[in-house]
């Protein structure tokens, strides 16, 4: 259903934590793309805690593009499971939004750049990669892209052109909002270039500390789509692969992420409806992929795509 891009500006940490948290909470099969040009490998080294040794990722996507290979299959081959047995929580059927990351649709990671220089040469790859990410929708896979901090050249325009939602993650204090205001203008400009209706929104981490969503929305001239609480213990699970604290599934951040998934889904649906794209939205967020998505199978040779479309769960902690 969706291609969602998350970014931040200096002074507002939290974009990777929020991206990982959303990818693990999302209600359909999800591909998380680590596209931070600073090449932190923040998910492999962070949430996955170095447990997945792999050379897969965007650099190999760039090589495939150079060799003129179709990127849809390449992207899928270059992913690794996002969830591992060590990171899975016990199934607790009574937890608020259901336990996260332990069952349900597949969640995969496309690892990021190994070196910042690789990111600098990636420009020509973005149009085809963004198209490939969009086409995953046909197999019922939603895509969440962490593009890291915005620089003065803005975000890769092909991503902005194709995204259902571009989210600026910011804290609610002045030190975060001052640079966010500058970059919000650049984002609006990029979104206008994309044509159609603005596909931008803000996620506030730490609402009312001290500014509230209405003031932030007015200041940035962008809608605040969702808010997340400050919750260091739960955030460390997503950013650093820290052990899950007690009652993690009921923690403020995990609860907030479940609400954020609803907020984002609603925002995307409303925009698509206004643009007359209702038919592409599909049924309301099933936890397993519906039979009608099988039409996409002949296009996809990759095992993940097939198993996802068949409703299989490929999370299983199988990092090989």
Ligand X SMILES: Nc1ncnc2c1ncn2[C@@H]1O[C@H](COP(=O)(O)OP(=O)(O)OP(=O)(O)O)[C@@H](O)[C@H]1O
CA angle 219, 21, 285 (to 5 degrees): 95
Could you please report the per-residue DSSP string of 72-128?
A: HHHHHHT-EES--GGGPPPP-TTSTT--SSSSSS-EEEE---SSHHHHHT-GGGHHH
Q: Residue 144 has which token pair?
A: 């969440």
Contact criterion met (CB below 8 Å) for 3 and 145? yes
Task: Using the minimum distance from each CB to ligand X, give the nearer residue, 1 or 187.
Answer: 187
Q: What is each CA distance from 165 to 55, 79, 122, 142, 273, in whole angstroms?
A: 29, 22, 22, 12, 14
Site for ligand X contains 207 (CB under 6 A) = no
Stretch of 36-44, 62-70, 181-189, 264-272 lying at the interface with ligand X (CB under 6 A): 36-44
Site for ligand X contains 14 (CB under 6 A) = yes
Q: Which does 17 bind (CB under 5 to 8 A by kind): ligand X, Mg ion, none?
A: ligand X
- By CB under 6 A, the residues from 125 to 154 that bind ligand X are 148-149
Q: Which does 82 bind (CB under 5 to 8 A by kind): Mg ion, ligand X, none?
A: none
Task: Using the minimum distance from each CB to ligand X, give the nearer residue, 97 or 312.
Answer: 97
- Which residue of the chain is nearest Mg ion when measured via CB? 16
Task: Using the minimum distance from each CB to ligand X, give the nearer residue, 130 or 260.
Answer: 260
Stretch of 34-42, 73-81, 100-108, 183-191 lying at the interface with ligand X (CB under 6 A): 34-42
What distance in Å separates the CA atoms of residue 153 and residue 37, rounded to the nearest whole number?
Answer: 12
Q: Which does 239 bind (CB under 5 to 8 A by kind): ligand X, Mg ion, none?
A: ligand X
Window 40-79: contact mask with ligand X (x via CB under 6 A)? x-x-------------------------------------
Contacts of 91 by beta carbon, 8 Å cutoff, 6+ apart: 99, 102, 103
Stretch of 57-65, 71-79, 235-243, 299-307 lying at the interface with ligand X (CB under 6 A): 235-243
Site for ligand X contains 27 (CB under 6 A) = no
DSSP state of 242: P
What distance in Å separates the CA atoms of residue 11 and residue 282, rounded to the nearest whole number?
Answer: 38
3-state secondary structure of 14: coil
Which of 49, 186, 209, 230 is the binder for ligand X (CB under 6 A)?
230
Site for ligand X contains 232 (CB under 6 A) = yes
Q: Which of 242, 236, 212, 233 is nearest to 16 (CA)?
A: 236
Q: Which does 105 bind (CB under 5 to 8 A by kind): Mg ion, ligand X, none?
A: none
3-state secondary structure of 7: strand
Task: Using the minimum distance from each CB to ligand X, give the nearer residue, 10 or 290.
Answer: 10
Q: What is each CA distance from 110 to 30, 35, 120, 300, 301, in whole angstroms?
A: 11, 9, 18, 17, 17
Q: Which of 189, 12, 21 is nearest to 4 (CA)?
A: 21
Residues that bind Mg ion (CB under 5 A): 16, 42
Q: Which does 236 bind (CB under 5 to 8 A by kind): Mg ion, ligand X, none?
A: ligand X
**Residue 107: left (phi > 0), alpha (psi -120 to 50), or beta?**
beta
Shortest reach from residue 73's CB to ligand X, in Å:
29
Shortest reach from residue 36's CB to Mg ion, in Å:
5
Task: Using the minimum distance from each CB to ligand X, give the nearer residue, 121 or 232.
Answer: 232
Site for ligand X contains 258 (CB under 6 A) = no
Task: Using the minimum distance from each CB to Mg ion, give the nearer residue, 16 or 226.
Answer: 16
CA angle 136, 139, 142 (to 5 degrees): 50
Kindly list the residues in this chain that would bind ligand X in the complex (CB under 6 A).
8, 13-17, 36, 40, 42, 148-149, 205, 228, 230-232, 235-236, 239, 253
């Amino acid at each position: 259903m969706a291609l969602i891009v998350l970014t931040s500006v200096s002074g507002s940490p939290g974009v990777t934590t929020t991206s990982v948290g959303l990818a693990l909470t999302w209600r359909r099969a999800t591909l998380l793309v680590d596209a931070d040009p600073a090449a932190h490998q923040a998910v492999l080294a962070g949430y996955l805690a170095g447990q997945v040794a792999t050379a897969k990722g965007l650099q190999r996507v760039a090589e495939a593009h150079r060799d003129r290979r179709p990127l849809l299959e390449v992207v899928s081959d270059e992913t690794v499971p996002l969830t591992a047995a060590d990171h899975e929580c016990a199934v607790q059927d009574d937890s608020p939004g259901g336990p996260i990351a332990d069952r349900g649709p597949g969640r995969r990671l496309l690892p990021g750049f190994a070196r910042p220089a690789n990111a600098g040469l990636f420009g020509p790859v973005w149009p085809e990669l963004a198209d490939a990410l969009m086409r995953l929708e046909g197999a019922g896979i939603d895509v969440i892209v962490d593009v890291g901090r915005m620089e003065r050249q803005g975000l890769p325009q092909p991503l902005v052109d194709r995204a259902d939602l571009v989210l600026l993650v910011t804290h609610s204090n002045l030190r975060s909002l001052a640079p966010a205001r500058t970059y919000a203008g650049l984002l609006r400009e990029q979104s206008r270039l994309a044509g159609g209706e603005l596909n931008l929104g803000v996620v506030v981490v730490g609402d009312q500390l001290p500014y509230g969503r209405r003031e932030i929305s007015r200041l940035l001239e962008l809608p605040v789509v969702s808010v997340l609480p400050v919750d260091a213990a739960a955030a460390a699970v997503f950013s650093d692969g820290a052990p899950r604290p007690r009652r993690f599934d009921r923690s403020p951040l995990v609860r907030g992420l479940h609400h954020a998934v609803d907020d984002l889904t609603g925002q995307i649906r409303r925009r698509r409806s206004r643009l007359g794209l209702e038919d592409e939205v599909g049924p309301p967020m099933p936890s397993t992929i519906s039979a009608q998505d099988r039409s996409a199978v002949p296009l996809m040779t990759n095992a993940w795509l097939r198993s996802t479309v068949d409703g299989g769960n490929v999370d299983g902690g199988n990092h090989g």
